[in-house]
Amino acid sequence: MYEKQILICAGTGCISSGALDIKSTLAGELEKHHLQDKVRIIMSGCHGFCEKGPIFIVYPDDVFYCEVKPEDVPELVEEYLVKGNLVERLLYKDPVSRQTVVSHDQIAFYHKQYRQVLRNCGVIDPENIDEYIIRGGYLGLKKALQMEPAAVINEVKNAGLRGRGGAGFPTGTKWQFAYNSPGDKKYIVCNADEGDPGAFMDRSVLEGDPHAVLEGMLIAGRATGAAEGYIYVRSEYPLAVKRLRTAIAQAGEYGMIGENILASGFNFTIKIKEGAGAFVCGEETALLASIEGKRGVPRHRPPFPAVEGLWGKPTCINNVETLANVPLILRRGAAWFSSLGTAGSKGTKVFALTGKVNNTGLVEVPMGVTIRGVVFDIGGGIRAGKKFKAVQIGGPSGGCIPEAHLDLPIDFDSLTAAGAMMGSGGMVVVDEDTCMVDLARYFLNFTKNESCGQCVPCRLGITQMYNILDDITQGKGKPEDIELLQELAIGVKKGSLCGLGQTAPNPVLTTLRYFRDEYEAHVLERRCPALVCRELLVYRIDAVKCIGCERCVKACPADAITGAKKEPHVIDPARCTRCGACMEACPKKVQAVECVSDGSAALSQSKEGSTCRT
Amino acid sequence: MAGLATVLGSGAMTNTIAEIEDSSCILAIGTSTTDAHPIAGYRIKKAVRKGARLIVANPKAVDLCRFADLYLPIRPGSDVALLMGMARVIVEEGLMDQKYIEERCENFDEFKQALDAFPPAFVEEVTGVPREKIALAARLYAAGKPASILYCMGITQHSHGTDNVLAVSNLALLTGNLGKVSGGVNPLRGQNNVQGACDMGLLPNVFTGYQRVDNPEARAKFEKAWGCSLSGAPGLTHTEIFDAAYNGKIKALYLVGENPLLTEANASHAAEAIKKLDFFVVQDIFLTETARLADVVLPAATFAEKDGTFTNTERRVQRVRRVIEPVGQAKPDWWITCAVARAMGAQGFDFNSPAEIFNEIASLTPSYAGISYARLEQSGGIQWPCPTAEHPGTAILHTEKFATPSGKGKLVALQYRPPAEQPDAAYPLVLTTDRSLFQYHGTMTRRAPGLDGLNGEELVCINPADAKNLGVAGGDLVDVVSRRGRVKVKAKLTRRCRPGVVSMSFHFAECPTNVLTSPALDPVAKTPETKVCAVRIEKL
Amino acid sequence: MSDLITLTIDGRPVQAAPGTSILRAALDSGIYIPHLCDHPDLEPVGICRLCLVEIEGRRPTVSCKTPVEEGLVVRTSSADLDLIRKVNLELLIVNHDYNCQSCVKNSKCQLQKVTSYVGVDEKSLRRVRKPELDHPLDTSNPFFTRDMNKCVLCGICVRTCDEIQGDGCIDFAFRGTRTKISVLGDKPILESACVSCGECVARCPVGALVPVKFEEPAYEVETVCPYCGCGCGIIVGARGGRVVSSRAVPGNQVNRGSLCVKGRFGLGYVNHPGRLTALLIRKDGELVEAAWDEALALVAEKLNSYKGDQFAAIASAKCTSEDSYVIQKFARAVMGTNNIDHCARL
């Protein structure tokens, strides 16, 4: 028997910061101390706290070491495993209280979470089906196999589960449609084409708990009468693909996948289809086209896939997180599930919390928790004591929610009402140093390139909005642009064929709604209040503070600074490219260079007629 | 033509082009439909889109193969073996339509006996196609309800072309596919009005509507109508005419819209024959290679310069209308012929318009009797037989009975006969001819700006394995030599040709493929075997 | 026949067969709904987003993809719909080479039709950023030119090639604003599997696919194609005594609105300078020009001396049936022989 187990996070994040080296070093060190039979190493899925990775937890003690490097391993073994002394410097320190925390439960990041979908992530070895089964795995399937399909669907309906892929369509209703559609063949498709930049909820589930997804698909198959399943996963997720393949093989060996599953007469097979990484293939009809080997472009609905899907057959498409919820609902019951969350949004939701917060990573909270709860309680507030400005929820086509709405409960309907959306659960926190026009431009740059190019508003409208935003950030905005942006955004939102175009204008619409003053400052006064838009900035040297050290003169790549030694230097605005090198070069004690955006920059530019685009 | 007429009573396409779309199995044999009949090709592709099975049998992997479920690369001239072999599988496996055979067919027992001569091993040997594929083709075809057979020159231009046609009809009769919507036996006629020309009696043995010249009743009818006495002896066929001219028996030839120097099998023989004529009149739209040999050349109008009718491959009579005035001195062919006749003092040639001619045709031709210009104006086309002015025309033939004396379709006991010319040591390769999408016989297409740009020169297609043996690379200039002649042409290496078979088209005057081809005639239809001749390739 | 369905479009009762789209039902009833990507021969896709309508009790939807239903109440215009169309159209216009005067499709262009319906305000149009249109012209095909600067990406050509021709040799390529219609490998069309049938050219709603050297015919005549035995109905256009165009007869039962390369582009031989325009008689071994009277007299005189089986006539399967009838009658009745045949066997 092992006395201790060490969980090393083997999520993609921790692997890239050295988890595999830690494992091999640890194995060597254990042997050195003859501990290899007493201490077992488990490579787990993602713990969610990627910022602090690689993560190294010792059970049953529940000691949480973070940011561990291979060279720390000998000390951890020697000091902790052999001598029993905590290695203080590798423990987690709370960024607010500066207190050291031993157990991961005590960490604010985890403490406020309610991990249901992520229940096994970071806890079990995802490549070992036994560990999944020990923690209640496949009990949901077993229960579903004892029920009539209609009863399974009812259970999911009663639970109030809504699709986690973005639109929030009630899952039970979708299953009902697929169940009702006549067809000799039906399909279950797992949408694992997680495309939002910075989002990795689905990847973590696939990597950390692949069987939960398989079990969800099996239950969906049982409920709808499908016997074949496809997992459409991005080929940029090689680890997820590998673990899924392992899981499918193991489930096959255990009789969970294949023919006559658990002696119930139910047959179900699962295939993996690797996508080539087009964002639009996350849209369900485009995804189906891609599986069929066609160009991945969305088509008009109806017919909905539940009626005419893959190869024209009824097809039920659910997202990874949705499916991972399903085994829990079957196992623990609809009543339990619907006790979590709000009236319209049941259960929990996983978010990828990124941006200017102290704790970034994957967080799971019950629906209805406020934005403040996530950003401040779990995220630990804004870095470097800066001021919170907004949070972009729902990925590149989500919306920016301002400070005034910090107490908005996170659920499908509240977010939509505020102009954002649940999306797949991206949450990017921005602080006072972020220009909202520039932020909108950034997101539109993504969606304009990812538009499939098929329907007119999306293909041309997003690019048009991008071009206008680009002009505005360069001080070339025209007063009528704000109104034009508004018109375009509505035209694209209401006129587009699929979800991509229908949501892509959200960043524009919400920033116009909550930060219109920033647009006006850019357009009317040629100012960027956040000091981000380069063309609108002016660098000046305070003649009083300047000590004439010539460091800025040397640092300037544009030869824009003149002045003799010991004399105050001067920046020629016409030559200045606003790169900020002078500001960095100026000694910290002096700080004679200042950056302002007061409208004079654009003036000097228009005189010179020169523009500098980056 | 002759083949179908004897067993079914009519030699035309039994169904319509549009129906192809709803066939559940299509056997396309000896046709490169997407090249030679592109619009029928669209229908085939549509049928495949709708789920039809497509079987292509052809010595060359024609474009249509891209859409096929099954491709049978048969040796040139082995069609009878293939089709009888398929019939044998169908009979052995009991896949035939027993009820249909009993009610509508005759001679089944004799036919069944003849199948004994086509065991799988023999069929495999002759066709060069594995027996499993042939059996699969038989099963697919028999399972197709309805199944349609399309064929073209690849079936008819053989020394046993009539047998080929009979073999096709056997298969359709056996499976009960004649007289059914989207079924049938469908010869795709080559030229736009080849059906109409046959219907009009442009044949040595029949008047209009296939009324035989050796039938005294028919002759009497025409003698009465035309006010003259008529010969009851069938005349010479196209190829026989050139032979007779060569032998001095034919002394005067009136040639309308034909360029035998390009299209005639063994074309150099035709040229010799023409030179021996006493008097040679050519009537054409261009001064063709042949016209240059004429004593008198009469300028004819193109289709765009005259009124009239064309009858298409599905028996649909449609109106041709004058778009522009004839160029220069050109006149419509009917006008010229009538003028010649009148100049010779003949009666019955004072037609003022094609409509008047058509009325005479309708009055003498039962299958056209109900058609008139007035009706064509309204309907946009009528399919014969159309016996009365009230009759809507006939889309599908043989729906109730066949036009044979017994009213039944005859299953014919066929034997396999090899092509007249077999490859040997001196001429080891088989040449077959085909048609390009972008060209026609050449007289017109070569003069249509642009088409030459898409396919402007003749190429001989050779399998890479054969080319390797010959030391020929793609683009090399080679001589293709047969017992009758030689042409210089560039080689194109392609796996579309099976080893041992080379193919050429016949659109180009500068490379007259038909100087090579075999004049061996089918004994019934008198069609020359342009699809099989033995050649050798000489590297230059 | 199934019963007709009755619905209301903009307050007018409209009847249509089940399965008809709202757009087609409206157009057939003389109610125009702007559209670019819909074509009666093709499956609708709903990508131009111009034919959006409002149906009572539902979200706005494209009328080309929505079948008629009994009792539907459809509105083709509202503040929302008008805004979407305006935005859409302005975007299309600035992304399109708008040199209408020099465009072959001028006055027949569907984009112009949409524009005149929606109405474009110059001032509003000036606000919109205009991209540089720099697609090179594809002049590789001898019969038609592809100008992607005029393309509105309606996809009609793509669906035509797929659904009508069955070849699918063109498709959408690239993404976002870079999207264009292209062939495999983004090569000139001539290097693709294209068979030059011109079906896409015939259906292109704008000036992106136009025949090379297009001449507007002065008049058109319906007739039959002179090439293969299919016998497609064609409408031939002419001006100044020349044939200048050919298009398919829409309702013809043989070709159902389609043509191949020869029927559409291969009629030029009629105008070929090498056409035989004069009569020629061989004199002293040379063919020299003659008059009809002279030639007819000569032929009559000569043939009179070869009556019977020393005479033969060979005619062409390209001639009309009337031509054919007359010549066989001539051979039989005048020349007294059955030596008459044609090239049926070839």
Half-sphere exposure of C138 (CA within 13 A, CB side): 24
Assigned token pair, B230:
């008529």
Spatial contact of A121 and A7, defined as CB atoms under 8 Å apart: no
The sign of the torsion formed by the CA atoms of B390, B395, B400, B406 equals: positive
Q: From C51, which residue of chain A is nearest by alpha-carbon distance? A: A495
Is C297 close to B449, i.e. CB distance below 8 A? no
Question: Taking CB atoms and an 8 Å cutoff, what residues of chain B touch C145?
Answer: none
Give start-end residues of each CATH 3.40.30.10 domain in chain A: 4-105
Report the neighbours of A using a cutoff of 3 or more CB pairs below 8 angstroms. C
For residue B537, pLDDT beyond 80: yes
Q: Which of B320, B334, B447 sits opposite C326 (nearest CB)?
A: B334
Alpha carbons A414 and A417: distance in angstroms, whole number: 5
The CATH number that domain A4-105 falls under is 3.40.30.10
Please check whether the domain covering A436-525 is classified as CATH 1.10.10.10: no
Taking the CA of residue C341 and the nearest CA in chain A, the distance in Å comes to 53
Closest CA to B210 of B221, B201, B222: B201
User: Rounded to whole angstroms, what are the CA distances from B8 to A474, B159, B397, C75?
Assistant: 83, 21, 9, 59
User: Is B302 in contact with C269 (Cβ distance < 8 A)?
Assistant: yes
% of chain B surpassing 70 pLDDT? 88
- By C-alpha distance, the chain A residue nearest C178 is A453
Residues 6+ apart with CB under 8 A from B365: B199, B208, B209, B211
- Identify the H or E element spanning A32: helix A19-32
- Using the predicted structure, report yes or no on whether residue A277 has a pLDDT greater than 90: no
CA distance A534 to chain C (A): 22
Flag whether pLDDT at B85 surpasses 70: yes
Asked if the model's pLDDT at residue C345 lies above 50, the reply is: no
Confidence (pLDDT) at A406: 94
Hey, which residues does C26 pair with through a beta bridge?
A: none
On whether the A129-338 domain is CATH 3.40.50.1000, my answer is: no
Class of A538-596 in CATH: alpha beta
Q: Rounded CA gap, C19 and A415, in Å?
A: 39
| Contact partners, residue A613, CB within 8 Å, separation at least 6 | A474
For residue B468, pLDDT over 50 is answered with yes
Q: Which residues of B touch C223 (CB under 8 A)?
A: 303-304, 319-321, 323
Confidence category of residue A297, pLDDT binned at 50, 70, 90 = very high
C226 close to B257: Cβ distance less than 8 angstroms: no
Preceding peptide of B385 cis, ω within 30°: yes
pLDDT (0 to 100) of residue B529? 64
Instruction: Kindly state whether C79 is in contact with chain A, defined as any CB-CB distance less than 8 angstroms.
Output: no
Q: Subunits with at least 3 CB pairs below 8 A relative to chain C?
A: A, B
C233 touches chain B (CB under 8 A): yes
Question: Nearest-CA residue of chain C relative to B517?
Answer: C346
Per-residue pLDDT for B486 more than 90?
no
Are the beta carbons of A491 and C155 separated by less than 8 Å?
Answer: no
User: In this complex, which chains have at least 3 CB pairs below 8 Å with chain B?
Assistant: C
- pLDDT at residue B1, rounded to an integer: 46
pLDDT of residue B497: 84
pLDDT tens-place string over residues C147-162:
999 999 999 999 999 9
Where does CATH 2.40.40.20 sit in chain B? 429-539
Where residue C344 falls among pLDDT bands split at 50, 70, 90?
low
CATH class of A348-431: alpha beta
C120 touches chain A (CB under 8 A): no
How many percent of chain B have pLDDT more than 90? 27
Is residue C84 helix, strand or coil? helix
Partner B, chain C 189-228, Cβ-Cβ below 8 Å: 195-197, 212, 221-228
Higher pLDDT, B491 or B433: B491
Two tokens, residue A520: 């006006």
- Cβ–Cβ below 8 Å for C49 and A495: yes
pLDDT band at B508 (very low <50, low <70, confident <90, very high): low
Q: Which pLDDT band holds residue C108 (cuts at 50, 70, 90)?
A: very high
Domains detected in chain C:
5-126 (3.10.20.740), 215-275 (2.20.25.90), 279-345 (no CATH)
Which residues make up the CATH 3.40.50.740 domain(s) of chain B? 194-312+316-383
Tell which CATH architecture fits domain B194-312+316-383: 3-Layer(aba) Sandwich (3.40)
Q: What is the band of A611 on the pLDDT scale with cuts at 50, 70, 90?
A: very low
Q: Which range among A215-219, A584-588, B378-382, B393-397 shows the weakest confidence by mean pLDDT? A: B378-382
- Mean pLDDT for A252-273 is 94
CATH fold for domain B2-190: Dimethylsulfoxide Reductase; domain 2 (3.40.228)
Q: Which two tokens stand for residue C330?
A: 């001539």
Give me the pLDDT at residue C346, please: 41
CB contacts < 8 A, A to C, total 108
How far is the CA of B237 from the CAs of A317, B209, B271, in angstroms? Answer: 69, 18, 17
* Cβ–Cβ gap B193/C195 under 8 Å: no
Q: Which of C44, C171, C177 sits opposite A448 (nearest CB)?
A: C177
Interface test mutation site (partner C, options B15, B192, B295, max chain C beta carbons within 10 A): B192
pLDDT at A441 over 90: yes
Chain segment A56-90, per-residue pLDDT in tens = 999 888 899 999 999 999 999 999 999 989 999 99
Helix (H) or strand (E) holding B155: helix B153-156
Residues of chain B with CATH 3.40.228.10: 2-190
Average pLDDT, chain C: 91
Judged by 3 or more CB pairs under 8 A, whether A touches B is no
C265 contacts in chain B (CB < 8 Å): 448, 450-451
- Whether A495 sits inside 8 A of C88 (CB atoms) is yes
The pLDDT value given to residue A172: 96
CA distance B199 to B214: 17
Residues C288-315, mean pLDDT to the nearest whole number: 91
How far does the CA of residue C210 sit from the closest CA of chain A (Å)? 22
CATH (one of 1.10.15.40, 2.40.40.20, 3.40.50.2300, 3.90.1570.10) for B429-539: 2.40.40.20
Share of chain A above pLDDT 90, in %: 76
Chain A interface disruption, residue of C47, C53, C61, C111, most A CBs within 10 A: C47
Q: What is the ipTM of this complex?
A: 0.88
Higher pLDDT, B312 or B534: B312
pLDDT level of residue B428 (50, 70, 90 thresholds): confident
Which residues on C lie below 8 Å from B46 (Cβ)? 166
Q: What is the largest CA-CA distance in chain C?
A: 90
Residue B447: the pLDDT is 67
- Give the residue on B whose Cα is nearest the Cα of C323: B334
- For position C268, what pLDDT does the model report? 85
Contact, A347 vs A116, CB < 8 A?
A: yes
Cβ neighbour number for residue C6 with a 10 Å cutoff: 14
E strand or H helix that includes residue B432: strand B429-433
Instruction: Say whether pLDDT at A606 is over 60.
Output: no
Do A393 and A426 contact (CB within 8 A), yes or no? yes
C49 touches chain A (CB under 8 A): yes
Candidates A459, A467, A473, partner chain C, best to mutate (most C CBs within 10 A): A459
How much is the pLDDT for B329? 92
What digits encode the pLDDT tens for the residues A469-512?
Answer: 999 999 999 999 999 999 999 999 999 999 999 999 999 999 99
- Among the residue ranges A279-288, A446-455, B412-421, the one predicted with the least confidence is B412-421
pLDDT at C21 over 80: yes
| Interchain contact, C340 vs B156, CB within 8 Å | no
Residue-wise pLDDT tens digits, A117-148: 999 998 899 999 999 999 999 999 999 999 99
The mean per-residue pLDDT over the stretch B26-42 comes to 86
Cα–Cα distance between C192 and C197 in angstroms, integer?
13
Average model confidence (pLDDT) for chain B?
85
Shortest alpha-carbon distance between residue A511 and chain C (Å): 20
**Minimal Cβ distance to C320: which of B213, B306, B328:** B306
Structural contact between residues B477 and B511, judged by C-beta atoms closer than 8 angstroms:
no
Distance from C-alpha of C342 to C-alpha of B254, rounded to nearest angstrom: 11
In chain A, which residues fall in CATH 3.40.50.11540?
Answer: 129-338
Q: How far is C303 from chain B (nearest CA, A)?
A: 7
Phi and psi torsions of C266, nearest 5°? -105, 20
Q: What is the mean pLDDT of residues B92-104?
A: 89
Residues of C in contact with A283 (CB under 8 A): none
CB contact under 8 A, C172 and A471: no
> Count of B–C CB contacts within 8 Å?
472
Instruction: Name the residue among A44, A79, A49 with its Cα closest to residue A59.
Output: A44
Q: Is the pLDDT of residue A609 over 60?
A: no
Query: Residue C88 pLDDT more than 70?
Result: yes
pLDDT digits (tens, 9 = 90+) for B432-467: 877 666 665 556 666 666 666 666 677 888 888 888
* Distance of residue A491 Cα from the nearest chain C Cα, in angstroms: 4
Contact C276 B324 (CB under 8 A): no
Give which of A501, A493, A42 is closest to C59, Cα–Cα. A493
3-class secondary-structure state, position B141: helix
pLDDT digits (tens, 9 = 90+) for B225-281: 999 888 888 998 888 888 899 998 999 999 998 888 776 666 678 888 889 999 999
Q: Which of A457, A467, A488 sits opposite C49 (nearest CB)?
A: A457
Which residues of chain B lie closer than 8 angstroms to C295, CB-CB?
Answer: 296, 298
Judged by average pLDDT, the poorest of A106-120, A182-196, A233-247, B157-171 is B157-171
The residue among A279, A460, A492 with the most chain C CBs within 10 A of its CB, best to mutate, is: A460
Which residues of chain B are within 8 Å of residue C144 when distances are taken between CB atoms? none
At residue C24, the pLDDT reads 96
Angle at A306 between CA A305 and CA A311, to 5 degrees: 50
Closest-CA residue in chain B for C212?
B450
Q: What are phi and psi of A229, to 5 degrees?
A: -130, 150
pLDDT at site C19: 93
Which long-range CB contacts under 8 A does A296-305 form with residues at least 24 apart? Answer: A296/A452, A297/A452, A297/A454, A297/C172, A298/A452, A298/A454, A298/A497, A298/A498, A298/A499, A298/A500, A299/A497, A299/C45, A300/A497, A300/C44, A300/C45, A300/C46, A300/C62, A300/C65, A304/A177, A305/A189
Q: State whether residue C157 sits within 8 Å of chain A by CB.
A: no
Amino acid at B213: V
* C45–chain A Cβ distance below 8 A for any pair: yes
The two three-digit tokens of residue C301, written as one number: 């005189």
How far is Cα B435 from Cα B152, in angstroms, rounded to an integer?
11
